[in-house]
Chains A and B, each alone.
Chain A
């Protein structure tokens, strides 16, 4: 049996994408060093407990904020409602580690907020108004107000698709407005909420920058310390494997919940919701409820960063910044182009060959999105070291390890899911009969892809590139581990300055990251506007 390029490529990619993860997991079958007894005796419980506290706290807060705001903007008309609809997604542009840095600068004993209170009320230096933020509750707030948009987005889409008749039936059965919300509205979209929540939890357990800055011991900081502090890569991998198993469990829950997510919008008798006009105190309350998360998650950090950048660091636009920004952008562009191209090739293969094995292969390729960057970086580094030692060492030392190849590979594996879903959506808009006709006109394989599909996928391809660029620019742990010597990106630049408590220096790269992070949000907002069934509402 002969295999064509369209069948071999997905298989080759599958091996490359799965190998780093498999390398990490394979460590569980190896020897366990003495460091495990140290970990077990002193820190493992703390890693588990802190991670559990974070997950629990963040889950509760994002559910309250995400679902509550989504319900308000979908069912009520109040001051600023039209702006809140899209502005509630803005905090997605701020990575948790940047909010953590700005929180420290704002709320530390001598941070901007405490200084302001002291100045306004003429209080002594020993007076501290705001509580300390470098602890688990502080981290819960940081994660919740940067990640709640995941829950907000899915809840809003699900609420929009809810039929008025069902909620009205609830009212006639004696439920008041609040009871309609928590006894009917929320339970009906539960699968969607769980799906969004799992994404939040995945991001929380994967984070390194914020918890490291707050000096909270979690699994990710533990893996980092075991590797760089104890110089024990095997134990670090074994620790990472536990985190990976947890992440995979979350993916399975997310996929399972997404499978059932359509029951709320499968109603044949769909009737769009009527908006209730709020006045007086309810109007003010609704405004405040929606404004607060945007203020904490987006406006506050952006204002603080701009204040630092403009007041204390006017020379931020220096050579170092330009070099770092250039490094970041060209790296992000390479990764984005490769990701989008691979997504086109894989999705084309599935369509062209209509082969079930290719579909299964493709779904495995998207798993990288859920693998924490730190784990991916360890796996990629081990894989490249193996290649260097096995094949390249004859000619030179460590050609692949420590080069940007590893970095690009990790970015591609991590961001492939974004590209794939975008290109897949683009393909769904191309009628399959176009392919049939093109084939009868002697156009197949590469010609079909280049002459027919690519021109039609132009927008999807660009969208995919933008999404990956913004994802790559924010990525921190994998970049910290895999970057070549003396090679900084904006995220690393921010991390290093923040670690040295040089917040003013960290401001400019942070602003650049937030600005780029706004791109997918604009795209997302446009997509939601054009996709919803009750768009006029």
Chain B
């Protein structure tokens, strides 16, 4: 079954200046997709549209073969069962780490607690369960943010520049860890990044967007090969990393 399908999606904020042009893509259950592109190319907008935080101007978004957004239908963000991880992490500063992860989980308190604790253990941050976000490092905060997004068992996990503010060694470590956890749990994920290495090391599929248009798509290997063979616009992406 197709986990996510986007058909002919276009979007603008100011009429005549499209941020996205006829974007289409498909993602199967458990696949990890990277959306690559330079700053301002429209990749974050695409992610926000998938999350329901923006309404597309035209086109449609389907999840598990059901329309969640088109001209006639809009499933609200809170009903899409989507997880979101952002570069700023956006942990709730007034809640402890365990409360942050329990926040979106439904069920009894014991069930919510055990789900949250399991994920914190998975990301090796369970010892900070009763600390507040400002008491842990940025790498640990990022792990908590991913754990929180995964806790409600979302259909798709969206990650917007998830490692953007971390140093290189921590980024490398987190990429490996995160991919393993996503794959072990068969979670469908979309990673938005301007970092070529994020795409290569984490994803099964890659699409490259420039000026709101998909200029390349394929497996991570294909994209690397293509870029090497044809030198297609990857330079602009690399320059941003």
Q: Which residues of A are in contact with B by a Cβ distance under 8 Å?
A: 431, 433-434, 436-444, 451-452, 455-456
Cβ of B76: which chain A residues have Cβ within 8 Å of it? 444
**CA–CA, A354 and B184, complex, Å:** 39
Known: A440-B51, A443-B78, A456-B94. A433 touches B86 (CB 8 A): yes
Shortest CB-to-CB span from B17 to chain A, Å, is: 18
Q: A439 near B92 (CB under 8 angstroms)?
A: no
Cβ of B88: which chain A residues have Cβ within 8 Å of it? 431, 433
**CA–CA, A451 and B92, complex, Å:** 10
Q: B94 near A441 (CB under 8 angstroms)?
A: no
Question: B11 at the A/B interface (Cβ < 8 Å)?
Answer: no
**CA–CA, A455 and B94, complex, Å:** 7
Q: B78 near A452 (CB under 8 angstroms)?
A: no
Question: B82 at the A/B interface (Cβ < 8 Å)?
Answer: yes
**CA–CA, A434 and B88, complex, Å:** 9
Cβ of A444: which chain B residues have Cβ within 8 Å of it? 76-78
Q: A437 near B93 (CB under 8 angstroms)?
A: no
Please pick, from B83, B92, B106, the residue contacting A440 in the complex, using a CB distance under 8 A.
B83
> What would 10 more interface pairs be, CB under 8 Å, given A436-B53, A439-B77, A442-B152?
A431-B90, A433-B90, A439-B51, A439-B78, A440-B77, A440-B84, A440-B158, A441-B148, A442-B79, A456-B94
B76, B78, B82, B104, most chain A CB atoms within 10 A: B78
**CA–CA, A439 and B75, complex, Å:** 12
**CA–CA, A259 and B234, complex, Å:** 44
Q: B84 near A437 (CB under 8 angstroms)?
A: yes
**CA–CA, A446 and B80, complex, Å:** 19
Shortest CB-to-CB span from B60 to chain A, Å, is: 20
Cβ of A452: which chain B residues have Cβ within 8 Å of it? 92
Question: B132 at the A/B interface (Cβ < 8 Å)?
Answer: no
Known: A443-B78, A443-B104, A444-B78. A437 touches B94 (CB 8 A): no
Could you pull out 28 A-B pairs where Cβ atoms are within 8 angstroms? A431-B88, A431-B90, A433-B90, A436-B51, A436-B86, A436-B90, A437-B145, A439-B51, A439-B52, A439-B77, A439-B78, A440-B77, A440-B80, A440-B82, A440-B83, A440-B104, A440-B149, A440-B158, A441-B104, A441-B148, A441-B149, A442-B79, A442-B104, A443-B78, A443-B103, A444-B77, A444-B78, A456-B92
A431, A437, A455, most chain B CB atoms within 10 A: A437
Shortest CB-to-CB span from A336 to chain B, Å, is: 23
Q: A441 near B103 (CB under 8 angstroms)?
A: yes
Cβ of A436: which chain B residues have Cβ within 8 Å of it? 48, 51, 53, 77, 84, 86, 90
Q: A437 near B77 (CB under 8 angstroms)?
A: no
**CA–CA, A221 and B33, complex, Å:** 73
**CA–CA, A524 and B80, complex, Å:** 44
Shortest CB-to-CB span from A462 to chain B, Å, is: 15
Q: B53 near A439 (CB under 8 angstroms)?
A: yes
Q: CB-defined interface of B76-110 with A at 8 Å, one 1/0 digit per residue?
A: 11111011111010101110000000011010000
Cβ of B154: which chain A residues have Cβ within 8 Å of it? 440
Would you list the 6 A-B pairs with minimal beta carbon distance, nearest first?
A441-B104, A440-B84, A439-B77, A455-B94, A433-B90, A434-B90
**CA–CA, A439 and B51, complex, Å:** 9
Cβ of B83: which chain A residues have Cβ within 8 Å of it? 440
Q: B90 near A440 (CB under 8 angstroms)?
A: no
Shortest CB-to-CB span from A432 to chain B, Å, is: 9
**CA–CA, A451 and B78, complex, Å:** 15
Cβ of B106: which chain A residues have Cβ within 8 Å of it? 442
**CA–CA, A58 and B193, complex, Å:** 60
**CA–CA, A441 and B48, complex, Å:** 14
Q: For chain B residues 140-190, which have a beta carbon within 8 Å of chain A?
A: 145, 148-149, 152, 154, 158
Shortest CB-to-CB span from A413 to chain B, Å, is: 32
A434, A442, A444, most chain B CB atoms within 10 A: A442
**CA–CA, A434 and B95, complex, Å:** 13
**CA–CA, A70 and B20, complex, Å:** 52
**CA–CA, A440 and B158, complex, Å:** 10
Cβ of B53: which chain A residues have Cβ within 8 Å of it? 436, 439
